[in-house]
Structure 1
């Protein structure tokens, strides 16, 4: 078991990380919003953790709290991303469809350019030498914090879907005008879904900074936005398991096929194309259809008798 974790621990943590980032995008989609802002909040959360763990201004706080500084970075990243989510979400969520996607991509790019030009973020070089969380010696030990976070987010998602808020999200996704007519305020719920996704992405970023030991502007890019969107679409955007399955698949395939060198990227592209063409509801959606039993056959209807006692 120890050898397995030493060999594949980094990959396992990366799979969990991909699933969490997919879930951060799942919440806006649950409310019918095509947001691509998750990499921006992920990068922002990572910078919060990297600065708090390396900047001399926080040296006294680090000495006083010891390992307690790590949960504090998660909390700080979540709160800052929630605030940023409200600031960005209130004006941006007035847009719909591709226009909202473009607005959130612009947010990601603005954060990237700003981080490239600030001294506190290390500029283009970034921040190096981020201490390992809780003194972990091996990367596989991050399963101990990423794993519980994934379980917590899945449990939260399940309960949310069963709640009044989850029903409001689905109503807005299906027909926003009808939901508004029934007393469901679309803007309020869309901003709430956007903020939930932002908080999850920010906390994942704050955990990932020590895991990667370095943080720079490459963590939040347009390419990352498309990759996270692919996690959700390939896995299935109508089930909370879709982002987890899609993230695990699209992250694992290139790594498991690394021995094929450049051909592994071709195979990864084929997986995307085939899934898009033949699995429009995603992998989880297709599996759900297979599990459903066909409807019972209706009994044949006997012909009605005519006036002479025969049949029509």
Structure 2
């Protein structure tokens, strides 16, 4: 497997986790590509327009990349906090439409701004690494941190409140859960993950264009979660890794690869409505491991 493809797979897993967080509250938010585009634009602008962040060396300082991540997280978090109080009053398909509109508004605005490069975008983004191997390490660390935080979230009170809202929002509210603040928390966390991911992607791609955060990206990132599963954080990670790599792995079949790729996305939810990775799957595997570990009684000799 090519190292560049591995980086794209890890980025896909991070974007899948960004979509997964609002879904923990039962909120179908498709705003991830919009926040992803904001993070990439922040990285592209700061690294190419602010000489103080660079150095005289051949490579862009890692400290500057971390600063871009912090600024992107701050910007996307504040934006999500303000927008979330408005759009999260909607539910279901209405919320999905509102967040798609947000993505398209951000894309059109960015395309019409001169300092973002317009339709051409920003090129020549400096590289912090000499090759894609460095991006593998950085993205792996970032994915590990986000996965650990998602795992901890599932076991904490806010995470349990999110699960309760997903199952029955009215019952959760009757138990004293602040449903509005809990959904807003999930929405802001989703924006933070997407914004930081955009920073890494901008440096990896060496250029950035507003078209990277469009409606197609909203559907693709949603497919990561639907295919992998939304009941545990492992589902979006698995879906992001697999569906990002699948088009490249299917290149030997030529023009049929898009048909096969579409068939996989269609058949997956058909046979696995809750996704490939579910808590029940782990429970089943654990029971089978326990049964196999129990020694069988020896049959008596005749």
* TM-score (structure 1 length as normaliser): 0.88
Counterparts of 1:274 and 1:66 in 2: how far apart (Å)? 45
Contact 2:47 2:53 in 1 (8 A): no
Taking structure 1 as reference, are residues 141 and 60 closer, same or farther at Cα in structure 2, changes over 3 Å only?
closer
Contact 2:16 2:225 in 1 (8 A): yes
Q: Give 4+ residue runs of structure 1 displaced > 6 Å after superposition.
A: none
Counterparts of 1:292 and 1:66 in 2: how far apart (Å)? 45
Q: Give 5+ residue unaligned stretches, structure 1.
A: 1-6, 295-312
Deviates further, 253-262 or 58-67:
58-67
Give the length in aligned residue pairs: 284
Contact 2:122 2:207 in 1 (8 A): yes
1:283 aligns with 2:299: no
| 1:273 alignment partner in structure 2 | 266
* Alignment partner of 1:20 out of 2, 7, 14: 14
* TM-score (structure 2 length as normaliser): 0.91
Contact 2:228 2:277 in 1 (8 A): yes
Q: Give 5+ residue unaligned stretches, structure 2.
A: 289-302
Q: Per-residue deviation at 1:79? A: 0.6
| 1:145 alignment partner in structure 2 | 138
* Alignment partner of 1:213 out of 206, 213, 218: 206
Q: Per-residue deviation at 1:291? A: 2.6
Counterparts of 2:177 and 2:55 in 1: how far apart (Å)? 48
Superposition CA RMSD, Å: 1.6
| 1:47 alignment partner in structure 2 | 41
Query: Pairwise mapping of residues 235-246 of structure 1 onto structure 2 (< 5 A)?
Result: 235-246=228-239
Q: Per-residue deviation at 1:293? A: 4.8
Counterparts of 2:52 and 2:11 in 1: how far apart (Å)? 30
Counterparts of 2:261 and 2:281 in 1: how far apart (Å)? 21
Counterparts of 1:67 and 1:19 in 2: how far apart (Å)? 22
Taking structure 1 as reference, are residues 11 and 124 closer, same or farther at Cα in structure 2, changes over 3 Å only?
same
User: For the pair shown, which has the larger CA radius of gyration, 1 or 2?
Assistant: 1
* Alignment partner of 1:101 out of 96, 99, 103: 96
Counterparts of 2:80 and 2:44 in 1: how far apart (Å)? 20
* Alignment partner of 2:247 out of 254, 269, 290: 254
